[in-house]
Structure formats: structure tokens, C-alpha cells
Amino acid sequence: MEEKQFLEELVKRYVANALSREELDIFFRLMAEGKLDDELNRQLDKESGVERGQIRPLYSRPWAAFSRTFRIAASVLVVMGIAFYFWRHNAAALFGNTVSVVTGKGERKEIKLPDGSTVWLNESSKMEYPRHFAEHQRKVVLVDGEAYFDIKRDESKPFFVAASGTTTRVLGTAFNIRSYHFLKSILVTVTRGKVEVERAGGTAGAERKILLPNEQVAYDVKTREITKVNVNSANAVAWKDGRLLFDNESFANVIAILENKFDVKIRAEESIREYHMSAEFASTDSLPRILDLLSLANNLEYHLEDNQIVLSKKRRPI
């Protein structure tokens, strides 16, 4: 279809109030660009019964008045339409169709999704989801942090969670994702049902893992390797009950978590950072108490130096 025919048909359908939402977007965009002026004038002339180049007879003056009224009304409607178009697009920019939920330090939130599913968001986290899910799928983005998902089953609408290079797909199940930017690995742990974890942009096979209850996938952000292990899934979601639990965690991760939680800098030599340890604390425990217990259990000591906490191996008495 030629451009002229397209514009003519677009205006006809607008006058007949037969444009779809997408066509309305096109109509008002072209109107704002001035590309519909000629066609709108032609359409208004047709509505008033006057063809271009035709001489209006004297007895048509009452109709001319009506035509002028019609033109004014039509112009007002067009202006209102343009105003509505830009209001709607500005409102979308201001309010959007995406809900963003953020938690601060020491804060946890429970979120009800549009499909009735529930998400618990851990501290220092951010998640985004649409106000209304798409027709054939449900998708949310864990921008940063940790969340526990209890997903309402709907086989016609699979549920996806995008998190730092991974996509987790479920139909209806419960699982935890830890994806803090300051940690080297993303952990996906299943407490109920079955999930599929895939590296974003990956191919089938080694880059996709199926998880059952008490199984966990670790995705190394740097190497992009995916590994699966058996775990006690209850430990992965201890944070929901206000517990700070480390389950065979590297000391490097423990340090990063404490730095983020308490806004401090902790320095430790590489050999200490490679330690793996298990420990449990209340989320309300102070940093000195946590450091005291960690040091005692791992034969370490710590002191403050240049506004940093320095962890070192405990010196043997002489």
C-alpha cells in the first residue's frame, strides 16, 4: 500500500473510531509530525459535503455554518486526542507498567505478585515485576539481592526469574535465589517442586540444570560455569526467619556479606579468604559479636587499622 493510501485509510478509520491501540499510536505520532494535515482537511471537506475545488452555492450558507462548527469540534477532538496520547506516554514514563521493590539494610519485604504468587525479598535487594503479567508467561527480574519465591502453579503460564546472567524457569514451586552483586556466585536452591536454571544465552545441555528439593545450583559470574550440589535447603532460607546462616560458605563470601550488612571494610589475607565455614547468628547480632565467634571458631584474631577491620591468623604465644 502506497503512503497516500495508507494515510487516507488511517484517517478514515480514525473518523469511524475503528483504530486499534497500536494504530492510534501511529495516528497521533503522524499527526504530531504534521503528516496527516492534508488528509484530515480532505476528510472534513467530505464530511461537510464539499469537494476540493468545488464552488459552494449561496443557499448552502447554513451548512457552511454547520461545517465550520464541525471543523471546530473535529479540531478540538484531534487536539484532545493528541493531548491524551502524550499524557498516556508521559504517564507511562512516570508511572510505567513495572513495579520496583527495594529493601534497605536490615529490611525484608513480602510481595504479592499479580498471579497470587508470593515473594519474600531479603535486605539490600531490588526486584522488578510487571503490574500485569503477559498472556503466555510470567516474568520478574531480581536486579540485585536475594529472594524466596513461592509460585502459584499455572501450566499455561511458566514463571521466569532473570538474575545476573541466569534464567530460572518454573511452573509452580518454591525456591530461593541469592544474587548479590558483591558475591562471585549466584545460588538457586529448591525447597519444593522442580526448577530449571539456564545460563542466559546458553545452549541446551551442560548450561542448563534441573533442580529438585534440597538441590542447589551455583553459577560463577566470572567463569560462567554452572555446578549442582545437594544441600539442606532450609539453611538457604534461614534469613526469612531472621537468622544469618552460613552453610559451608567461603570466608571471602562471609566477609563480603558482613561488609555489606554493616557498612565496614574487612581485610584478610588470601589464605583466610579461602577458608570454608558454617555458622549461625541472629540477624540482630552486632558485628563485634559475630567477629568474636568467627575468630574463636577459626583460630583467628582481628583488630582495627586505618578504619578497616583486619583479620589474621592467631599468633601462637611465645
Grid coordinates representing 123?
A: 535486605
Phi, psi of 281 (to 5 degrees): -135, 160
Cα of 186 vs its chain's centroid, Å? 17
Better pLDDT: 206 or 125 = 125
Same domain, 144 and 228: yes
Q: Give the pLDDT score at 71.
A: 52
Cβ 209 vs Cβ 215: under 8 Å: no
Average pLDDT over residues 245-266: 96
Phi, psi of 11 (to 5 degrees): -65, -40
Same domain, 221 and 264: no
Grid coordinates representing 281?
A: 547468628
Domain boundary among 182, 217, 241: 241
Given phi > 0 = left and psi -120 to 50 = alpha, else beta, which region is 116?
Answer: left
Between the CA of residue 180 and those of 30, 93, 118, 195, what are the distances in Å? 45, 28, 20, 20
User: Half-sphere exposure (CA, 13 Å, Cβ side) for 158?
Assistant: 9
pLDDT-based confidence at residue 48 (cuts at 50, 70, 90)? low
Between the CA of residue 273 and those of 47, 97, 199, what are the distances in Å? 80, 43, 27
Name the residue range of residue 29's domain.
Answer: 3-94
Average pLDDT over residues 124-128: 97
How far apart CA 98 and CA 141 sit, in angstroms, is 10
Same domain, 9 and 144: no
Mean pLDDT of the chain: 83
User: Half-sphere exposure (CA, 13 Å, Cβ side) for 283?
Assistant: 14
Number of neighbouring beta carbons within 10 Å of residue 165:
15
> Percent of the chain at pLDDT above 90?
61
Grid coordinates representing 88?
A: 498516556
Same domain, 235 and 250: no
Which CATH number does the domain housing residue 258 bear? Answer: 3.55.50.30
Domain boundary among 190, 213, 241: 241
SS3 45: helix
pLDDT-based confidence at residue 300 (cuts at 50, 70, 90)? very high
The residue with cell 503479567 is 133
Q: Do strands 243-250 and 226-230 pair parallel, antiparallel, or not at all (unpaired)?
A: unpaired
Same domain, 134 and 148: yes
Which CATH number does the domain housing residue 134 bear? Answer: 2.60.120.1440
Lowest mean pLDDT among 73-82, 142-151, 241-250: 73-82
How far apart CA 148 and CA 121 sit, in angstroms, is 7
pLDDT-based confidence at residue 4 (cuts at 50, 70, 90)? confident
Between the CA of residue 304 and those of 212, 265, 286, 307, what are the distances in Å? 44, 10, 16, 6
Same domain, 234 and 248: no
Tens of pLDDT along 204-243?
A: 444 889 999 999 999 999 998 999 999 999 999 999 999 9
Secondary structure element (H or E) that encloses residue 301, with its range = strand 300-305
Longest dimension (CA), the chain: 120
Cβ 178 vs Cβ 236: under 8 Å: yes
Domain boundary among 74, 94, 114: 94
